[in-house]
Structure 1
Amino acid sequence: MEYWLILLSIVIGALSIHYLFKNYNFFKRHNIIHIPCVPMLGNMTSIVFRRISLADFICKIYNFNPDAKYFGCYAMTMPIFLLRDPEIIKSVFVKNFEAFPDRLGFSDLNEPLLVNNLFSLHGQKWRDVRTLLSPSFTSSKMKMMFALMSECAMDFANFLSTIPVEKSDMDMKDAFTKYTTDVIATCAYGIKINSMKDPTNKFYVYGKEATNIFGFKFLFLRTFPTLGRIFNVKLINNHVSDFFKDIIRNTIATRDAENITRSDMIQLMMDIRGKEGRRELDIDDMTAQAFIFFFGGFDTTSTAMCFAAHELAVNPDIQNKLRQEIDKILDESNGEVTYEIINRFEYLDLVINETLRLYPPIGVLERLCDKSYELPPALPGEKPFTMEKGMTVWIPVYAIHHDAKYYDDPEKFCPERFLDNKMYHNSPCYLPFGLGPRMCIANRFAMLEVKVLLFHLLARCELKPCAKTMLPIKFTKKGTIMPENGFWLNVQRRSSESCP
């Protein structure tokens, strides 16, 4: 009996070693330039042990070989093709989209809220859901949502403008996530809340819990998804998942019972029920779509607002110039702010575009190869390489946005560089929302949300650095592109407001 146990242990050990180390000679076997790695952790050692910030890590691997169009690296046990060449990036995102239609996303996790949403869906199911949700973000829908956003932004700005001087130093991330929570609650879920006045509401509390998932557990589950499924390891607690599911279920039941119709995401998903030739979404599907909308807006949009506010505070000349534009347009419109008027702001657009360049919402984009695709030689004199189904590419957005080859003085916050916006429109060197058919579906919503917030905030308040403001910004080593000690600023009521 002992011999069988010994033999079984040897077999299990051999299979485990094969599983863990089978990919580590991939690039060497195919004679592809690659970054040397260590077993198990690949090239992620410095990230796993928090020796380096995510932003610095992206730039470090990007600059491994500046002459190469691409090279290999390892995300834990997974071989990754890191693309540097703009033409290849454009080919992957646009020209040959059919060869790279999907993201890895959260598709291999044991998490219905993350697996079933548009971000993670693959193939025809992604196309069906994308087609279904796209009408949520047309100009007519944005115009209707503008009024809801403005109401949230006015409540937010009014609250900040009345804060006592002794409490005017604040963490802007905490403040802005409350605003984005209110916006998404009303625009996507049809629920009116005020998180600044009531920060203990479940929507905000559970939202913070649900979006705080990026850590060692996340890395482990992405590396060993099978183990995660076997042991039923989850990133989001059941009470949080149940909360969001109950909101969708109760909203649908109430609207059906009382014949209520709203122009929001839930209504679009409800309206396809019973229509011939249309695939209905069940309650889990609906919850997942609404949740990813919340997930993206809660975290990435609020972070973009934080970086914009930071740069305006530490660059008072830019803040003054933007405030002058706000005051001028308000004066010309007699204080009436409409969807058409908010889109007339030119300098506000420049400020937001430059914020998204300097601090892109997603530091690295990924795509999965779905069919054979030939990469050109990485360096002169080398051979092309044919990628096969299942292989993964990374596009290091943060590093590209900070490359002096594409942007003069890339570390400087300079909104005027976007005066010639045609230069960056559909450019593979400017990718805050991605590019091509799979770019962020809610990019117009996010841009409008940031515009409305900055407009109302600067019409009433002035942003200044405070004792806790980090100058220059030093990014945390906890795996996100965030300052080490948060986004602390001083917010004061303007001496002469120009309120809408």
Structure 2
Amino acid sequence: MELSTLILITITACIYLYYLIFGKLSHFKRLKIPHVRPIPLLGNLAPFIFRRMSLPENLQKVYNQFPHVKYFGFYDFMAPVYVMRDPEVITTVAIKNFDNFCDHVDIFKNEPLINGNLFSIKGDHWREIRKLLSPTFSSGKIKIMFQMMCECAENLTDFLVNDSGNIGKTYNLRDVLGRYGNDVVATCAFGISVNSFKHPNNEFLLLAKEASMFSNNSLKLLINKHFPLFVGLLGLKLFSARVRNFFREIIIDTVKTRDEQKIIRPDMLHLMMEQRDKTDGVSIDIDQITTHSFVFLIAGYDSTTTAMCFLAHNIGINFDIQNKLRAEIDDVLIRTNGKPTYEAISQMKYLDAVINESLRLYPLAPLLSRVCVKDFELPPATPDGEPITLKPGDHIWLPSYALHRDPKNYPHPNKFDPNRFLNDEVENSLYMPFGIGPRSCIAKRFSMIKLKIMTFYLLWRCDLEPDTKTKIPMVLSKKSYVIRPEGGFWLKLRARKSKAPVTLID
């Protein structure tokens, strides 16, 4: 090849790369949308990538720079994202015009175990699967599962009371509450009876822990999201072959046993089994059953356990709230003669408020994503701006963590104050721990009753207090893609000093 030709190719390649990179990174400048100047390749994620700031705080910092706009621009690496902060625009995007923004970003394309899960699938297929799975999480089905959850909570508190005694003991909450979360999912979703307090090294729990570690690996998740072709070529997986094989075999064996023995249980697995080989409507095969069951395990073990840990932490460091909540629990115990019912726990207003406030401070996800699927005109971002037409493929973020900690939305936002949920101060479009609109979490009811039962039994039988390991205020991890604390959750637990109005009967 002649030198002049080589030089021409090099110059052409450089010009192409320049426009590829800087063309994308000038997207919001061209549209005159408020944004922070991005760093080439890294966009606005540099503080998180270099571990100077957690992901939710990274986004919150940019959010706070534009207090008077309806939305602003953010560069997710080189991908431009429209970040909504106005409640009317949020409602417009997530609810009123849901059909224009009905899809999520799929970050699991190369992971066979969860590719095609409810979070990732799109359009009409999502609607069909959502309709199929929704009956699992109806109040009637959850009421049937209530007693199974209570048995898991009794195992939890029996262990804590016997292990900590009157002196008390400091626990890593993720360990003890993770066992409860694991056992609830095992029995309610898989039909498997597991007592992780008597058998802390059971294979189901150990592999559930291993599977949940993927959410802490921010680098792997980001690569999987932004460079799926690269991930596919290298064969990188979020889960080990051991995890994939174990849970797939569990589903296959459980389905086979239920078929042979005509076992019927009120759970998600049974509903999916009923849809096999259907000739009308949506059908589902064993691989899809495995995918949806496994995602339910991850959400039930990992996400809900994290929410329980934040909840216990907030109760443990706020004694006035702990005492007020315990008084409500004692009142229920008296009214139910020491046998709490689904109805009694579901109707506890202060317990509801405490959980909702904890989820406000620490939502399950720092942001919610939507993908535009049909042209849509957004109002101007600023009073002197122009309307913007979004095109299919454009990305929207709803910054739940930042919205929940905006003083315009929540006075004294960093204060743990359950009363704000008792006084009708909260606007629905600005509260989204389980998402918002039709694509909100399908298992919200299940997760809430799971949190309520855990809290009820824990305060019924235990006192919670901070330890020297307890971080006040909480410091968020700079490594995790989701909301996690630095150094873990630590709290001192002891058998309850004050006498409960009734005694737990074996």
TM-score of Structure 1 vs Structure 2, range by shorter chain? over 0.9
Deviation at 1:155, TM superposition (A): 0.6
Q: Percent identity?
A: 44
- 1:169 corresponds to: 170
The alpha carbon displacement at 1:369 in A equals 0.3
Change (3 A) 1:49 1:58: same
Aligned to 2:149: 149
Q: Within 5 A, what are the aligned runs for 1:330-479?
A: 330-421=333-424, 423-424=425-426, 427-479=428-480
Return 5+ residue gaps in structure 2 as ranges.
none
Q: Is the 8 A contact 1:77 1:223 kept in 2?
A: no
| Mapped pair 1:103 → 2:104 | yes
Q: In the alignment, what sits opposite 2:209? A: 208
**Is 1:293 paired with 2:300?**
no
Shift of 1:499: 4.3
- Give 1:112 shift: 2.1
Aligned partners of 1:310, 1:453: CA distance in 2, in Å?
13
> TM-score, length-normalised on structure 1?
0.95
- Pairing partner for 1:236 from 216, 235, 239: 239
Q: CA deviation at 1:167?
A: 7.0
Alpha-carbon contact 1:364-1:397 (below 8 Å) kept: yes
SS in 2 for 1:175: helix
| 1:68 partner amino acid | V
Q: Cα deviations across residues 442-472 of structure 1 (Å, max 9, x unaligned)?
A: 0000000000001111111110111101112
Alpha-carbon deviations, 1:203-244, whole Å to 9, x = none?
A: 211112212113212112212111111222111112211111
1:162-205 CA-to-partner distances (Å, cap 9, x unmatched) read 11457710110121111111000110111111122222222211
Q: Aligned AA for 2:248?
A: K
The AA in structure 1 aligned to 2:144 is M
Counterpart AA for 1:131: K
Deviation digits for residues 87-123 of structure 1 (CA, Å, limit 9, x no counterpart): 000111100000000110425x301233211011111
In 1, the alpha carbon distance for the partners of 2:483 and 2:138 equals: 30
1:278, distance to aligned residue in structure 2 (A): 2.4
Query: What displacement does 1:417 show?
Result: 1.0
Q: 1:22: Cα distance to partner? A: 4.5
Distance 1:284 1:34 in 2: 43
Q: Which residue of 1 aligns with 2:133?
A: 133
Q: Residue deviations 1:313-356, cap 9 Å, x none?
A: 11111111111111111012111211111112121111101111
Partner of 1:302, secondary structure, is: helix
Contact 1:456 1:499 (C-alpha < 8 Å) held by counterparts: no
Look up the equivalent residue of 2:160 and give its one-letter code.
Answer: L
Alignment deviations for residues 357-395 of structure 1 (CA, whole Å, 9 cap, x no partner): 111111101100000111111111111100000000111
| Cα RMSD, aligned residues only | 2.1
Distance 2:140 2:156 in 1: 25
How far apart are the structure 2 equivalents of 1:153 and 1:206? 21
Q: Distance in 2 between matches of 1:12 and 1:62?
A: 36
Q: One-letter code of the match for 1:409?
A: H
Letter in 2 for 1:492: R
Looking at structure 2, the residues matched to 456 and 360 of structure 1 have their Cα atoms a distance apart, in angstroms, of 23
Distance 1:201 1:18, change over 3 A: farther
One-letter code aligned to 2:286: I
Question: Which residue type is aligned with residue 473 of structure 2?
Answer: P
Are 2:107 and 2:221, in contact at CA under 8 Å, matched by a contact in 1?
no
1:181-192 equivalences in 2 (<5 Å): 181-192=182-193
Is 2:270 aligned against 1:275? no
Letter in 2 for 1:31: K
* Structure 2 Cα separation of the partners of residues 382 and 446 of structure 1: 42
1:189–1:248 Cα contact (<8 Å) kept = yes
> Secondary structure, in 3 states, of the residue corresponding to 1:212?
helix
1:438–1:167 CA distance, 2 compared to 1 (3 A) = same
The whole-number CA distance in structure 2 between the counterparts of 1:399 and 1:212 is 25
Tell me the residue number matched to 2:87. Answer: 86
d(CA) in 2 for partners of 1:156 and 1:242? 29
1:255 CA drift (Å): 0.7
Secondary structure at the aligned position of 1:478 is classed as coil
Q: CA deviation at 1:481?
A: 2.1
Describe the SS at the equivalent of 1:198.
coil
Distance 1:4 1:196 in 2: 73
Which has the larger displacement, 4-13 or 132-141?
4-13
- Report the CA distance shift for 1:15/1:137 in structure 2 as closer, same or farther (over 3 A): same
Aligned to 2:60: 59
Q: Does the CA-based 8 Å contact 1:366-1:395 persist in structure 2?
A: yes
Deviates more, 1:92-101 or 1:345-354: 345-354
**What residue in structure 2 maps to residue 329 of structure 1?**
332
Cα 1:22/1:222, change in 2 over 3 Å? farther
TM-score normalised to the size of structure 2?
0.94
Residues 278-308 of structure 1 show CA distances to partners (whole Å, capped at 9, x for unaligned) of 2221222111111111111112211111111
Query: How many correspondences in the alignment?
Result: 497
Partner AA of 2:426 in structure 1: Y
Do residues 246 (structure 1) and 249 (structure 2) align? yes
What one-letter code is carried by the residue in structure 2 that aligns with 1:350? A
Q: Matched residue of 2:477: which SS?
A: coil
Residues of 1 paired with 2:145 and 2:426: CA distance? 27
Say which of 299, 316, 320 aligns to 1:317: 320
1:222 to 201, 220, 225: 225
1:80 is paired with a residue of what secondary structure?
strand
Q: 1:137 to 1:7 in 2, by over 3 A?
A: farther
Distance between the aligned counterparts of 2:182 and 2:15, measured in 1?
50
Name 1:70's counterpart in structure 2. Answer: 71
CA distance in 1, matches of 2:5, 2:301: 52
Q: Which runs of 5+ in 1 are unaligned?
A: none
Q: Counterpart of 2:288 in 1: which secondary structure?
A: helix
Which residue, 253, 263, 267 being the options, matches 1:264?
267
Q: Shift of the alpha carbon at 1:148?
A: 0.9
- In structure 2, the CA distance between the partners of 1:251 and 1:9, relative to structure 1 (3 Å rule), is farther
Q: 1:235 to 1:8 in 2, by over 3 A?
A: farther
